[in-house]
Amino acid sequence: MKELLKVTGLNVVFDTPAGRVHANRGINLMVNENETLGLMGESGCGKTVLFLSLLRLQQPGRIVSGSIVFDGRDLTKLTTSEMQQVRGRQIALVPQDHSTALNPAFTVGQQLNEALLVRDNGGGLWKTSLIGCSGRGSQAFQEEVKAVLGELALGDLVDTGRLLGRYPHQLSGGIRQRVLIAMALLGHPRMLIADEPTTALDRASRVQTLEVLNRLCERMTMLIISHDLDAIRTTCERVAVMYGGRIIETGPMLSVFRNPRHPYTRLFLSCQKFSRGDVLPEVTGDVLNLIDFPLGCSFHPRCPRAMPVCSELEPAEVHVDDTMVACHLYATGETTC
C-alpha cells in the first residue's frame, strides 16, 4: 500500500492571554492511499486542530515544528498559493458543525456552484454573487451536481431542482451534512477529512450518513474524527487515539477495539459499553489543561495503572504487535498489561 500522508513530530500552539495552549504535541501519524483512519479522543484533546493543521487552516494557532508530507510534498513548506491548490482539490474537509458551516445567505445551488468555481478557476461566493450564479444553469454543472447528489443518495430523497434552490435553514441536519459532503466531493479530492460527521444528527440521518461514508471509503482515502464509536467501527480500517494533544495508540480498528492497550483507550472504550442499571463508567479526573500539563505521561493524574516513572518521564512510542502505544507499561517489551 502506498503511503499518502505522513505527519511527523507536529507541534501546534495557540498563544492566548492565559498562556500557550499546546494543542498538538509531537503528533506522528501515517495514512495509506485508499485507507480510512478514525481519530478518537475526548473533547478538547486536539483532534480538530490536527485536521485543520493538515490544511494549514489552524489560525490563530501556529505550527511550530514538524512535517506534514502529503503525496511526497511537505505541506508546511508550501506557499499560500500552493496551499490553495491543495485545499479542496487534494484534501477536502467536511467541517464539524453542519448547522453553521453553510452560508445562510446563499442557496445550496450557489454554494455547490462555488465549490466548482473554486476548483476550476479559484473563484468564490463573491464572484458567484456578482455573476448571478451563471454556472448553475450550465449542462456541465447540472450533470456534475446530479452525479454527486446521486452518490450521496440525495438525488432520490429530494427533488434536485428544489434542493438547489433552498437555503440552509430550510434543510434538515442530515441533508445539510450531505450537502457539505457533496461540496467536498466536487473538488475530486484524493483525501476526505470528516470532522464529527454524525454528531447532532437524528438516528435516521445518522444511519444514512454512515451509509454514505461507507460507500466513499471504498473509493478514496478518508480521515474521520468521531465520538461515535459505531461510526468508527463501521467505516475505519485503522484507528488513532488522542489524549492531551498526543497520539497515544494506533493500530488496526479490530485490534484496538478488541484489545485496547493504553489505559486511556481502555477507559475510553469501556465508557461506551453499559447496560441499564449499570453504574455509568467514566474516565475520572479533570480533562488535561493544555497550557500547564504535568511532567511525564500527561495521563498519569488520571491513570489507574500509574507507576513512579509515569510522573517523571514522557513515555516513548512503542510498537507492540500491530499497534503503537505510548505507555511505560510496554517499555520492557511486554505485549499486554
Ligand X SMILES: Nc1ncnc2c1ncn2[C@@H]1O[C@H](COP(=O)(O)OP(=O)(O)O)[C@@H](O)[C@H]1O
Residue 90 vs 96, nearer CB to ligand X: 96
Site membership for ligand X, residue 95 (CB under 6 A): no
Q: How far is the CB of 46 from ligand SF4 (least distance, A)?
A: 17
One-letter amino acid at 4 equals L
Site membership for ligand SF4, residue 318 (CB under 6 A): no
Among 5, 25, 36, 46, binds ligand X (CB under 6 A): 46
Beta strands in 34-146 (DSSP E): 36-40, 62-70, 73-74, 91-94
Bridge partner list, 240: 39, 250
Contact 273, 249 (CB under 8 A): no
Residue 97 vs 334, nearer CB to ligand SF4: 334
- Contact residues toward Mg ion (CB under 5 A) are 48
* Bridge-based pairing state of the strands 246-252 and 238-243: antiparallel
Q: Return the number of other C-beta atoms located less than 10 Å from residue 336's C-beta.
A: 9
Strand order in the sheet with 19-32: 19-32, 3-16, 62-70, 73-74
Site membership for ligand SF4, residue 299 (CB under 6 A): yes
Among 14, 70, 106, 141, binds ligand X (CB under 6 A): 14
Dist CA 280 CA 164 (whole Å): 45
Q: How far is the CB of 47 from ligand X (least distance, A)?
A: 4
Binders of ligand SF4 among residues 225 to 264 (CB under 6 A) are 262-263
Stretch that binds ligand X, among 39-47, 210-218, 256-264, 274-282 (CB under 6 A): 39-47
Among 290, 297, 303, 318, binds ligand X (CB under 6 A): 290
One-letter amino acid at 65 equals S
Q: Return the number of other C-beta atoms located less than 10 Å from residue 120's C-beta.
A: 12
Q: Return the number of other C-beta atoms located less than 10 Å from residue 12's C-beta.
A: 23
Closest to 161 measured CA to CA, from 237, 108, 94: 108
Among 297, 318, 320, 324, binds ligand SF4 (CB under 6 A): 297
In the complex, the residues that contact ligand SF4 under the rule CB under 6 A are 262-263, 297, 299-300, 303, 305-307, 310, 315, 327-329
**Interface contacts to ligand X, rule CB under 6 A:** 14, 16, 21, 23, 41, 43-49, 60, 290
